[in-house]
Amino acid sequence: MFVGTRVPLRNLVDYLEGGESLDEFLDDFPSVSREQAVAFLETAHELLTAGARPAR
């Protein structure tokens, strides 16, 4: 959940996977701030790339 909301983090992932924009997500879930959404995406990116090896 995004802190202070009842919105699951998965909702943002589902929106993006479905081709929707961050702005569309934020319009539909006004209790989530842009800062919260961006922080989640940055954290997810860091976790996903932490163990990644560079291409050879």
Q: Per the domain annotation, does 43 fall within a domain?
A: yes
pLDDT given for residue 50 in this prediction: 86
Q: What percent of the chain has pLDDT over 70?
A: 93
> Does residue 32 belong to any structural domain of this protein?
yes
- CA 22/CA 12 separation, integer angstroms: 8
The total number of structural domains in the chain stands at: 1
Query: 36 lies in which domain range?
Result: 9-48
Report the mean per-residue pLDDT for the chain. Answer: 93
Give yes or no for residue 39 having a pLDDT over 70.
yes
- From 22, 50, 15, select the one nearest 37 (Cα to Cα): 22
In a domain, 42, yes or no: yes
Which pLDDT band holds residue 51 (cuts at 50, 70, 90)? Answer: confident
